[in-house]
Structure 1
Amino acid sequence: MTRAASSPDLGRTVYRPVRGGNALEDTVARLVQTVRLGVVAPGESLPSERDLAERYGVSRDTVRQAIGELADAGYVVRRRGRYGGTFVADPLPVHAGPIDAAELEDILGLRRVLEAGAARAAASRELADAVRAALAERHQATVGAAEGEYRRLDSLLHVAIAEASGIPSLLPLVVENRARINAWLDTFPLLPRNIEHSDAQHDRIVAAILAGKPDAAEAAVLDHLAGSEALLRGFLG
């Protein structure tokens, strides 16, 4: 099969190089955008892994992992043999449908302010032993968590960071915001390799907070949130 035709501008938009910090998440999101925008139609083939790696400016291994995630989620089908390749699923999986772009950006923007600010505040204060222990416990609970439990435990870790900030009125805002985010995240499957990446980012966030490094804690949270934002925009935007 041949690839579906698309406008050059649209092609340049979805195939532009991704950021280095969240290469896997951004690659998954770009591929979802490619499918959802009709750049490659259902039943048609994606560019080769080599071609995608060059366009996105990432390794072939990253592209291969991203395609694997989308295959697991039912968005693409991989075929072997002379006429093999990666093909867009036909029909595509059903999801919650598009949401208001302004609402999505509002909620994501608020999350950046709330959660990055919470991490900075937590890293800027002298944490009591009980607070340090609770944060470490929540962090360890996410490592190796079962897939069905991961999002709940991830949310509890972020709530623990808000609690560690020492700003009581911040906590309900973070909880409400994350509840809305989770409602959207639950409309598409967890991506196992994204969990591995998320765990590594959690390590950096918690380490920076416990070491009392506000700048590093804030930067690590923003980097972490950027990955899930890419996935949300790709699947829901």
Structure 2
Amino acid sequence: MRLGVIGPGERLPAERELAVMLGVSRDTLRDAMGSLAEAGYVIAKRGRYGGTFVSDPLPGTTPVVGVDGELRQRESIPATEVNDALVLRRVLEVGAARQAAAAPLAPPARRRLELALSECGEAPLADYRRLDARLHLLVAEMSGSLSVLRLVAEVRMRVNELLDRIPLLQPNIEHSNEQHAELVAAIVAGDADAAAAIMEEHIAGSEALLRGFLT
């Protein structure tokens, strides 16, 4: 939800289907849904068109799972943890961009990239980080490796927790959108070196902001 895979107001898959997708028991899934509901991320609706839906709007910050298994916000994040997340992100996403550009790109995949780029570029402030994350996840998906996608999704959640702690500034958004457009163009053109260089520059900018505010 925070990564933009399922948007605000959208319905989640049925319990049985979702449990299979996530590889967990239905009891575990119900416990997780209960925690998400308490944290304000999902709402249950009854009736003919009922089900579990993503809250609209979503809560403004990214929760983490505490040692007791409950979702909560942290008051502070150690500098060592900030550094670990940022280094891991750089290693994973630069490599993912390079591989995405080197891999064959079918027309449907190209259309998905261009749509994600357009939606991110036109996003209102409240939705920007969610749609930005979705574009980055799509680049990771284009690498062709499910393992890479999962690792990028995991590190992006960690980075989102950091991003929630700094201001979102319009000049930064405009520059980010320009780099997104260059990145997608490089991937579509099959230029692996350019895609990696653009992603590295893109990540370095947000990394500098995060280190400046948080360390």
**Which band: TM-score by shorter chain?**
0.5 to 0.7
Identity over the aligned pairs, expressed in percent?
A: 53
Structure 1 residue matching 2:153: 3-state secondary structure? helix
Counterpart of 2:202? 224
Alpha-carbon shift at residue 128 of structure 1 (Å): 1.2
Counterpart of 1:186? 164
Contact kept? 2:97, 2:187, Cα under 8 Å: yes
Counterpart of 1:158? 136
Q: Deviations over 1:9-61 (max 9, x none)?
A: xxxxxxxxxxxxxxxxxxxxxxxxxxxxxxxxxxxxxxxxxxxxxxxxxxxxx
| Residues paired across the two proteins, number | 142
Counterpart of 2:78? 100
| CA RMSD between the two structures | 1.2
Q: Please give the alpha-carbon distance, in whole angstroms, between the structure 1 residues aligned to 2:190 and 2:75.
A: 42
Contact kept? 1:97, 1:236, Cα under 8 Å: no
Q: Deviations over 1:178-231 (max 9, x none)?
A: 011001111122111100000011011111000000000000000000110011
User: Which residue among 176, 180, 184 is the counterpart of 1:202?
Assistant: 180
Contact kept? 2:166, 2:210, Cα under 8 Å: no
Task: List gaps (5 residues or longer) in structure 1.
Answer: 1-95
Contact kept? 1:120, 1:215, Cα under 8 Å: yes
Structure 1 residue matching 2:184: 3-state secondary structure? helix
Given the two structures, how large is their TM-score scaled by the length of structure 2? 0.64
Which AA in structure 2 matches 1:206? Answer: V
Q: Say which one has the larger Rg.
A: 1
Task: List gaps (5 residues or longer) in structure 2.
Answer: 1-73
Alpha-carbon shift at residue 165 of structure 1 (Å): 0.7
Structure 1 residue matching 2:110: 3-state secondary structure? helix
Q: Please give the alpha-carbon distance, in whole angstroms, between the structure 2 residues aligned to 1:104 and 1:176.
A: 14
Given the two structures, how large is their TM-score scaled by the length of structure 1? 0.58
Q: Deviations over 1:94-131 (max 9, x none)?
A: xx766322221111111011111111001001111111
Which AA in structure 2 matches 1:179? Answer: M
Structure 1 residue matching 2:190: 3-state secondary structure? coil
